Amino acid sequence: MCRWLGYVGSPIEPRELLYDPERSLIEQSRRHAPAMSVPNGDGFGLGWYGRREVPAVFHSATPAWGDRNLHTLASEISSPLFLAHVRAATGTPVQETNCHPFAHGRWLFVHNGYVAEYDRLRRDMMLAVRPDLFPEIRGTTDSELMFHLALTFGLEEDPLGGLARMAGFVEALGAAAGVAEPLQMTVGVTDGERLYAARYATGPVVNSLYYSADMESLRQLYPVEERFAHFGPEARAVVSEPLVALPGLWHEVPAGSALTVEKGRVTHAPFVPLPPD
């Protein structure tokens, strides 16, 4: 199980979420999840928006907790929207091109989960990718293919619809191949203005996903928590696991649902896989 986080709000240093909390993303990458025998040490990535129209991305195939360059970078930059990911490989090689976030134009994409029996489904997934997008695929992961399938199925014009059609396509392939539960995913995708997230699986077990409460409610709950004082009222985070153990801070995203996060607002919607056109 990989882990990821996304932030939308007034500009902050990514370090404030990647390193500072007691259950920060870097700390999560060190320790084992309940159902895992290994930590998330198979690479990491940070993608952020700043001065340019397109995001900047930093990847490494090394464990995140030992990378001094990541700590320096996350302490130096300031961004109003970023995605970060720590990887636990599920059968594909540990290499930089397999590290999230994956990028296309203004878009960034992260994924926690897998396509079951990916080796059997990979060829048909690849052949469905739009020809002009195919040369962008640099790695070998199911996650990168899922992103390019979502782009193929209209993600840039309809983000949640593109994700739903991608999920429907993977499930249809799995059903045709006799794969009982082909898809497990929490995904985050952004164009630099909004963060879209979905939590879904074909079967009954679905990886976790949470989003943070609005800052005004948080300050009313914890008026003496000075570490939140500089966050703007529009700040929100979406995370695989809570970063701090404060009751009322984190809301679980229900299975089979999606979020649209923009400055100061979170919108909920059902997430239902759709057959692609």
| Residue 146 φ then ψ, to 5° | -60, -40
| Nearest-angstrom CA–CA distance, 68 and 73 | 9
Top-confidence residue, 275 or 79: 79
Cα–Cα nearest to 185, from 141, 219, 226: 141
Q: How sure is the predictor about 40, in pLDDT bands with cuts at 50, 70 and 90? A: confident
The arithmetic mean of pLDDT across residues 212-219, rounded, is 76
Strands 44-48, 56-60: pairing is antiparallel
| Nearest-angstrom CA–CA distance, 137 and 41 | 23
Top-confidence residue, 38 or 141: 141
Residue 204 has pLDDT above 90, yes or no: yes
> pLDDT for 240-274, tens place per residue?
999 988 888 899 999 999 999 998 789 999 999 99
Which three-class secondary structure string do you get for 60-106?
ECCCHHHCHHHHHHHHHCCEEEEEEEECCCCCCCCCHHHCCCEEECC
Number of residues that this document lists for the chain: 277
Superfamily of domain 3-270: Aminohydrolase, N-terminal nucleophile (Ntn) domain (3.60.20.10)
Provide the pLDDT for residue 90. Answer: 75
Tokens found for residue 24: 């920060």
Provide the pLDDT for residue 208. Answer: 95
* Residue type for position 237: A
pTM over 0.85: yes
Provide the pLDDT for residue 139. Answer: 96
Residue 34 has pLDDT above 60, yes or no: no
Provide the pLDDT for residue 160. Answer: 98
> pLDDT for 48-60, tens place per residue?
999 898 999 999 9
> pLDDT for 171-194, tens place per residue?
999 999 999 999 999 999 999 999
> Which H/E stretch holds residue 259?
strand 257-262
From 92-101, 148-157, 215-224, the region with the lowest mean pLDDT: 215-224
Residue 131 has pLDDT above 70, yes or no: yes
CA atoms within 13 A on the CB side of 35: 7
CA angle 119, 60, 32 (to 5 degrees): 70
Residue 220 has pLDDT above 90, yes or no: no
Cα of first residue to Cα of last residue in the chain, in angstroms, is 31
| Nearest-angstrom CA–CA distance, 231 and 57 | 24
Tokens found for residue 167: 């999920």
Provide the pLDDT for residue 11. Answer: 93
Provide the pLDDT for residue 173. Answer: 97
| Nearest-angstrom CA–CA distance, 53 and 264 | 22
| Strands of 56-60's sheet in order across | 56-60, 44-48, 79-86, 3-12, 236-239, 210-212, 250-252
- The whole-chain average pLDDT of the chain stands at 91
